[in-house]
Every structure is written in C-alpha cells, then in structure tokens.
A = this chain, B = another copy of it.
Amino acid sequence: MANLHLADLEGLRAYLTVRISPARALGLMLESVDPVTIAAPLDANLNDKGTAFAGSLYAVAALAGWVLVTRWCAAESVDAEVVLQSSSAKFPSPARAGFRATAQEPAAAQWQKLKRMLARSGRGRAELAVEVRCHEALVMSFKGTYAVIAAARAE
C-alpha cells in the first residue's frame, strides 16, 4: 500500500515536514503518535498580543486529528485520503508559551463503524476531539469531522 510508512513516528514526521508547507513554516513538530501529539513554538506563531495566533492553534489541532486518522488507515492497510470536513473550536485562555495538541483516541466502536462504512461504500467519517495545552492550561478545545475516502484499489 502507498501509505504504510505513515504508521510510525519517523514516517509521519518526515511526511508532515516535507509535504505540508505550513507545518514547516509554523515550526510544527510531531512528538509522539501514541497519543498523537504535535508541538509548536511560540515565536513563529505570535499574534499582536504576544500570545499564540488562533490560526496556529487551529493548525496544530487539525493536523493532530488528521495524523490520528491517517495512522489508523495505515495500520489497517486502508489506502485512503483523509480530509477535514467541519470543525468547532473554543479558546478558553491565551497561550503565552509554546503549545501542544493531543488528539484523543476515539472509542473502538467508532473505528469499527468507519471500517464498515469503508467496506460498504469506500467512504467513511471519523469524529475526533483534540486538546491544545500550554503547560497545563487548556488553550483550545477542537472537534473535527474527517472524511476518509478510499483510493481505487491498486493491485
């Protein structure tokens, strides 16, 4: 399969850096895949108030969710595109230092449902929650719905 290298930390880290321009520009770094954790420094992401720009917080959160679903696909040998469809976000407090997004592993039942949908129609959907923290403080809570679209089976 095309995306098997996206199952591990090194493969995913290289992919993000090489293939996603803003991940590079904003200094985003995949730190862990279990749980999926992406860190960002403050300096590349500063707004006019000396805190992190909301768009940067969103970027780490959206990417963390994307990595979680992409990694599941790779582990299941599902060759698919993963695309963010919709999201909601809240920003309870400002980030005054570097920050870190952690994607919450969904219930096993949701992965099972996604698997059934992919088997039946080649399309499915995953709903994920991601938290962004600065030290211990919650600076963003994010919910995203990702579409998963299977590639035509090669082979």
CA distance A39 to B107 in the complex (A): 39
**Interface 9-residue window, one of A56-64, A71-79, A112-120, A126-134:** A56-64
Check: A111 CB closer than 8 A to any chain B CB.
no
Q: Which residues of B contact A46 (CB under 8 A)?
A: 19-22
Please indicate which of the listed interface residues A20, A47, A54, A59 has the most CB atoms of chain B within 10 Å of its own CB: A54
User: How many residues of A are in contact with the other chain, CB < 8 A?
Assistant: 35
Q: Which of A39-63 contact B (CB under 8 A)?
A: 43-49, 53-56, 58-60, 62-63
Given known A20-B48, A22-B55, contact A88–B88 (CB-CB < 8 A): yes
Least Cβ distance of A25 to chain B in Å?
Answer: 4
Count of chain copies: 2
CA distance A20 to B56 in the complex (A): 11
Closest chain B residue to A20, Cβ basis: B47
Q: Which residues of B contact A54 (CB under 8 A)?
A: 58, 62, 84, 87
Please indicate which of the listed interface residues A22, A62, A94 has the most CB atoms of chain B within 10 Å of its own CB: A22
Q: Which of B15, B19, B22, B60 contacts A45 (CB 8 A)?
A: B22
Q: Which residues of B contact A55 (CB under 8 A)?
A: 22, 55-56, 58-60, 62-63
Q: Which of A1-60 contact B (CB under 8 A)?
A: 15, 19-23, 25-26, 43-49, 53-56, 58-60
